[in-house]
């Protein structure tokens, strides 16, 4: 397994993983316009993607959106887009991917918003500080 920062050269693989992720959580697949917007955001480093590849094929991904956090008065990041293909789950990839994203993104803290059913998984991965509830505003 190879753990990598996902850039433009792996965007096709990321697009396939992202579509599978959306399908699994019951959301619509990204449109061509969505993917074009995502590619621009990656180029500008508004969002950082990390992944795990097996024989060159991306099998897992996650993202970090850099922010400034008053949790610790330093650069923070929002952890999202966490997805591992079903055949690759329960093999330690999740833990390594979180470590890579944290270490390579240059943030001092990561926050994650998740469904109640996923809290235990994220706690097991090291997200141990509860900061209340995360809600989204917008369309």
Give 17-75 pLDDT, tens digit per residue.
999 999 998 999 999 999 999 999 999 999 999 999 999 999 999 999 999 988 889 99
Whether residue 15 is contained in a domain is answered as yes
Confidence of residue 137 (pLDDT cuts 50, 70, 90): low
Give 136 or 7, the one with higher predicted confidence.
Answer: 7
Whether residue 93 is contained in a domain is answered as yes
Confidence of residue 132 (pLDDT cuts 50, 70, 90): confident
- For residue 55, the domain's CATH number is 3.40.630.30
Residue 58: predicted pLDDT: 97
Above 70 in pLDDT, residue 135? no
Rounded to an integer, what distance in angstroms lies between the CA atom of residue 50 and that of residue 3?
7
Residue 2: predicted pLDDT: 96
Domain count, the chain: 1
Give 90-121 pLDDT, tens digit per residue.
999 999 999 999 999 999 999 998 888 888 89
Q: What global pTM score does this model have? A: 0.91
Query: Domain span at residue 25?
Result: 2-124
Residue 22: predicted pLDDT: 92
Whether residue 138 is contained in a domain is answered as no
Sequence-distant (6+) residues with CB within 8 A of 74 are 68, 107, 108, 109
Tokens of 79: 């952890």
- Which residue stretches of the chain are H helix? 11-24, 32-43, 93-105, 119-124
């Amino acid at each position: 397994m190879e753990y990598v920062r996902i850039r433009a050269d792996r965007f096709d693989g990321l697009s396939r993983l992202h579509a599978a992720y959306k399908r699994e959580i019951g959301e619509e697949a990204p449109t061509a316009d969505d993917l074009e917007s995502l590619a621009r955001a990656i180029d500008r480093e508004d969002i950082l993607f990390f992944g795990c590849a097996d024989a060159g094929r991306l099998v897992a991904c996650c993202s970090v959106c850099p922010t400034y956090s008053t949790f610790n008065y330093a650069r923070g990041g929002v952890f999202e887009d966490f997805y591992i293909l079903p055949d690759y789950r329960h093999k330690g990839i999740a833990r390594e991917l979180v470590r890579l994203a944290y270490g390579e993104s240059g943030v001092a803290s990561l926050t994650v918003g998740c469904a109640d059913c996923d809290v235990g998984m994220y706690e097991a991965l090291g997200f141990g500080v509860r900061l209340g509830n995360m809600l989204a505003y917008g369309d």
